[in-house]
Amino acid sequence: MFGYGKKNEEKNTELLELGNIRLNCRSGEKDTVIREVGRMLCDSGCVDESYIEAMLRRELTFPTNIGNGIALPHGVEEAKKNIRRSGIAVMVFPDGTDWGGETVKLVIGIAGAGEEHLEILSVIAQCLADPDDVDRITRCSAKEIYTMFTGKGCS
């Protein structure tokens, strides 16, 4: 539902690319996980490499775990200039990973150009409002997750 299937105009790509979904991730240090999800955004051309450090700085000032087993790491406001295009990257931790004392199962790295950041957060909240949704996504294939987040439905 990201952009309701709308493609990013400049490169004609979806906000979520199939290659930016990692399943069955093993628990790791929060900083390591943030670097990994940030690297996915960087490698897919969404952000400059410096955005990864901005994601780590954001976490120091405002933890990005939002409850329901979800963390949404993203860069600090001044790092918006390092975003080339909006995109997300998804890491699924079936057994959870520690996020500052809370166990998260779903980490979604966000790079939102302009005001798209708010739209992305809104769609995530809509699709994953129930903790059961997060548990269900840990059993989904990458294709099912891709379909869920690209406008083809949250069910």
Catalytic residues: 74
User: Which residue has 């993203």 as its token pair?
Assistant: 74
What is the dihedral sign for C-alpha 91, 45, 81, 150?
negative
Distance CA 80, CA 113 (A): 7
Per the CB < 8 A criterion, the answer to whether 92 and 109 are in contact is no
Pairing of strands 70-71, 102-111: parallel
Both tokens assigned to 101: 């004392």
Torsion of CA 136, 142, 144, 146, to 10 degrees: 110
Residue 92's DSSP bridge partners are 106
